[in-house]
Each structure stands twice: as C-alpha cells, then as structure tokens.
Amino acid sequence: LDANRVEARFAPIVDLRVGAIAGARTVAMLDGREAIAVQRRSADLAAQLTDHLLAAACGPAREVTGITLWTPVLGRALADVGLADRLVAIVREQGIDPRRIVLLLGGRAVRRSTHAELDVLTRLRVKGFGVCLDAFAGAHMSDSLARVPLTAVALSPALVRGAPADPTRAAALEEA
C-alpha cells in the first residue's frame, strides 16, 4: 500500500431484469493480479486495504449516479470496533452517501463472526451501508446467516451454473 502497488479495478454488476449496469464491484489488484492473500495477514493490514479500496471506489461513484458500489471488507478488519465510523468518514469525505455502498464479506468471515464482529456489522448497517455475503455456496452456512445483518447474498456461480437441469443444485439454489 505504501508503495502504491495496490490498485482498485472495477467489474460491472448487471441487473439481469433490466439488462443494465446496476453497480460496480471493487477488486484489489497487486502487480496486475487479484490480491486475495492479504486476508490471512494482520488485522491492521486488512483494515488499511479495506479503507484503500473504499476510498478508491468512491471516485467512480462521484462521476456516475444511480449505481451501487460493492467493495470488500476483509474479515480481519471486522475486529476493529471503530470500523463503521472510519468507513463513514471515508465516504462522506468523498461526498458519497453510505447507502450507495455494499460491503462484501467472505464466507469465512460470516461463519466465524464473534459477538464483537457482529456488533461491528450491526454498526455498519445502522450507518447505512449494505452488507453482502459474497459467493454464498449453499445450505452449510444457513445457521451462520441467521445472526448476521445482511442486506444481500451474492450467489456463487458454481451454485447457479446448471441449476435448471440439476434437481440437487436447483434445490440448493432455492434454499439459498
């Protein structure tokens, strides 16, 4: 981060009902490759990367109205009780309403959420952010989902792919 090697790139989110771009997903890139290994590092590094990606996502949000920005919150960042206030300060400094931001959480972060982390997620919701479970893969997580204040669930392509022709996948998709 200090060397400016991490950059934010954006992938469109399409609303299939109307065939239009409804949002943009922020992806962290390190030297041209997706930077996902950072999650296993320190909580401080996760918080810095979360802040960096959110600030980067706000640039396009100022230029394009009517879209929602989906940006990751690395699981270890949830250990910071000040996360909600810090993220609100970032988006407000950029002139963005927190209601235009959906924070993406990995399945591991949702399954292993402590009471303190659930409190942080609730604070994020109270501040106006959406919270989405990213790449939901099936019923094995349903017990964990009931206690998390989610506004959306992004289904795993593996769960969706082939569901119309496969009764088992179709049942899992319906349960999701």
Helix (H) or strand (E) holding 14: strand 6-15
Rounded Cα gap, residues 122 and 96, in angstroms: 20
Residue 77, Cα to own-chain centre: how many angstroms? 12
Q: How confident is the model at residue 73 (pLDDT cuts 50, 70, 90)?
A: confident
- What's the average model confidence in pLDDT over 75-81? 82
Q: What is residue 101's predicted lDDT score, i.e. its pLDDT? A: 92
Rounded Cα gap, residues 152 and 133, in angstroms: 7
Rounded Cα gap, residues 127 and 139, in angstroms: 29
Q: What is residue 36's predicted lDDT score, i.e. its pLDDT? A: 58
Q: How confident is the model at residue 110 (pLDDT cuts 50, 70, 90)?
A: low
- What's the average model confidence in pLDDT over 101-124? 81
pLDDT in tens, 131-173: 988 765 555 555 556 677 888 777 666 666 777 777 877 776 6
Q: How confident is the model at residue 31 (pLDDT cuts 50, 70, 90)?
A: confident
Nearest to 53 by CA among 65, 41, 42, 61: 61
pLDDT in tens, 80-100: 889 999 999 999 999 999 999
Torsion 98-86-51-108 (CA) sign: negative
